[in-house]
């Protein structure tokens, strides 16, 4: 009898959790949230010695190649400065520079820095927990990014902590676009360190080396966030859908600090759309913020 009751409770819990996830809100109940909150300081404490050793090793490795990297970065900086100048010239010529500057002032994106405190306890899922929660304004469904690109999506929140499903998780699906050809498709996690980009063969111009960004369609992630780079394209054969392998822009093995986007929706889309080259003036015209 007890076995049946416990199994029933677990199944009901799973069904209601799935419903909450699909509805976009998954704030953990008090007891469960308290466990997640408690896990943050405990996990920080446990990870501290290993973190110190790892940081020392990384700093050493960083120092080894610093001169070479410095030269490389200087060359890159010079190239970017030149590109920037050319883009500014083009924007001034099209009269859009002032418009974009005004928009950035109007729509400041609140970004909350957050620190990784732990990974997933199961090897079959790819999620991480961060030390920011409801008390800091984090809610389920908010995108999480790092300086390199898209990290994932907040899926559970307690008062002082949150869990984020990484792009790599097999339950993750993001509407993506190839930056060069604008070919659209779905980027899915494989549970490994690579992603899968599924797109329609007809008109889908995807090549190795292409950058894949979020399309903004699908309503979860804002447009223009970097997802990764195409490393291989499969042979479609007679199928309508073709897949490409994408290396994530973010190095998830070295993920330590991220930013939670505290707002999403049309306002964000507008800003990213306006920041992209080659977008018509209509797309950048102000829309009402939701």
Partner 1 sequence: MKPALALLLLGAVAIMFQGAASGLLATRFIPDLGFLIVVAVGARWRSLPGGLVLAALIGYAADLLSGSLLGQHALLRMLAFLAARVASRSLNLRGSLPQAVFVGLLTLLNALGVAVLTSFFAPPGAVFGLPPANALLTHAGINAAIAPLVALGTDRVLALVSDEDAGRRLLRFESRRAA
Residues at the contact surface with partner 1, assessed by CB under 8 A: 2-3, 6-7, 9-15, 17-18, 21-22, 28, 32, 35-36, 39, 42-44, 46-47, 50-51, 54, 116-129, 155-156, 163, 165-166, 169-171, 173, 186, 188, 191-192, 253
Pick the closest to residue 162 from 11, 33, 31 (CA basis): 33
Q: How many CB atoms lie within 10 A of CB 246?
A: 26
For the CB of residue 122, give the shortest distance to partner 1 in the complex, in Å: 5
- Give CA–CA dist 107/289, Å, rounded: 9
For the CB of residue 32, give the shortest distance to partner 1 in the complex, in Å: 6
One-character DSSP codes across 49-103: HHHHHHHHHHHHHHHHTHHHHHHHHHHHHHHHHHHHHHHHHHHHHHT-HHHHHHH
Smaller CB distance to partner 1: residue 35 or 200?
A: 35
Q: How many CB atoms lie within 10 A of CB 241?
A: 13
Smaller CB distance to partner 1: residue 32 or 80?
A: 32
For the CB of residue 255, give the shortest distance to partner 1 in the complex, in Å: 8
Torsion on CA atoms 227, 225, 289, 115, rounded to nearest 10? 90
Smaller CB distance to partner 1: residue 4 or 63?
A: 4
For the CB of residue 272, give the shortest distance to partner 1 in the complex, in Å: 25
Smaller CB distance to partner 1: residue 227 or 284?
A: 227
- Give CA–CA dist 130/39, Å, rounded: 10
Smaller CB distance to partner 1: residue 141 or 266?
A: 141
For the CB of residue 99, give the shortest distance to partner 1 in the complex, in Å: 38
């Amino acid at each position: 009898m007890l076995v049946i009751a416990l199994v029933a409770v677990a199944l009901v819990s799973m069904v209601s959790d799935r419903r909450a996830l699909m509805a976009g809100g998954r704030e953990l109940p008090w007891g469960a949230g308290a466990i997640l909150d408690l896990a943050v300081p405990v996990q920080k404490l446990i990870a501290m010695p290993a973190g110190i050793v790892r940081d020392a090793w990384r700093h050493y490795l960083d120092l080894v190649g610093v001169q070479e990297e410095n030269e490389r970065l200087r060359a890159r900086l010079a190239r970017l400065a030149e590109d920037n100048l050319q883009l500014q010239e083009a924007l001034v010529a099209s009269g859009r520079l002032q418009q974009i500057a005004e928009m950035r002032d109007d729509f400041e994106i609140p970004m909350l820095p957050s620190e990784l405190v732990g990974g997933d306890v199961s090897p079959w899922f790819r999620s991480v927990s961060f030390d920011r929660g409801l008390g800091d304004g984090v809610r389920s469904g908010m995108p999480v990014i790092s300086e390199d690109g898209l990290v994932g999506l907040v899926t559970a929140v307690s008062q002082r902590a949150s869990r984020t499903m990484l792009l790599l998780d097999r339950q993750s699906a993001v509407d993506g676009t190839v930056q060069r050809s604008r070919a659209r498709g779905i980027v899915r996690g494989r549970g490994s360190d690579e992603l899968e980009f599924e797109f329609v063969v007809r008109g889908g111009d995807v090549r190795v080396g292409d950058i894949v960004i979020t399309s903004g369609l699908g309503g979860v992630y804002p447009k223009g966030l970097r997802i990764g780079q195409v490393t291989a394209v499969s042979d479609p054969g007679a199928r309508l859908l073709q897949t490409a392998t994408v290396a994530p822009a973010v190095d998830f093995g070295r993920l330590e600090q991220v930013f939670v986007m505290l707002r999403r929706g049309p306002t964000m889309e507008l800003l990213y759309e306006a920041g992209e080259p080659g977008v018509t003036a209509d797309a950048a015209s102000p829309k009402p913020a939701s």
